[in-house]
Amino acid sequence: MSLASVALIVILLLVAAFAVILYNGLVRLKHGVSKAWANIDVLLRQRHEELPKLVETCKQYMQHERTTLERVIAARQAVSSAREQGDVGALGRAESGLRAGLGQLFALAENYPELKANDSFQHLQQRISGLENGIADRRELYNEAVNLNNVRIEQFPDVLIARAFAFGAAPLLQFSEAQKADVDLKSLFG
């Protein structure tokens, strides 16, 4: 075997090893996105289970706030549907509606001293608020994983492996500007 043949074989082995390293890195990023989504999903399921309890507790006291309670129930169902379908865009929109409805519900609860004093309501409010904070934290981690994945599949030489093996971009989980805004308490009580 000639020196040129050995050199060619060594070069081909190095190129193959480099391609394997790139491929494995892309797989790791893809699964990082899936893991981050699963972490959000866990919290969404927990909140989904707590919301009916909150609505039932509020119904006992808030007889004149049916519209707000129905809005929370409808938004809960929209979030559940988007989560089950894995539709990140629809989830972002549904989350915006649910968070606005919960904000309005908690603000309206201020008008009902008996409700605010209810241990069950206080527990559920704290539990749901804690879940909301957890979802926000996990959303940040998810979006970071998505960003790392999306940047990597566009960089050279990773883009060659990404295209060859159909690695795709993942969507960011974004909420509407209205959802991020503070609740307008004057409009709720005016």
Angle (nearest 5°) at CA 37 between 138 and 103: 50
Name the one residue in this structure whose structure tokens are 């539990």.
127
For 26-55, the pLDDT digits (tens) are 999 999 999 999 999 999 999 999 998 888
Predicted TM-score (pTM) of the model is: 0.76
Q: Respond yes or no on whether the N-terminal peptide bond of residue 157 is cis (omega within 30° of 0).
A: yes
pLDDT of residue 189: 36
How is the chain split into domains, by residue range? 3-189
pLDDT of residue 159: 95
**What angle, 0 to 180 degrees and rounded to 10, lies between the N-to-C axes of helices 66-85 and 88-108?**
160
Q: What are the distances in angstroms from CA 69 to CA 56, 91, 118?
A: 9, 20, 17
Region 141-157 average pLDDT: 95
Answer whether CATH 1.20.58.1000 is correct for domain 3-189. no
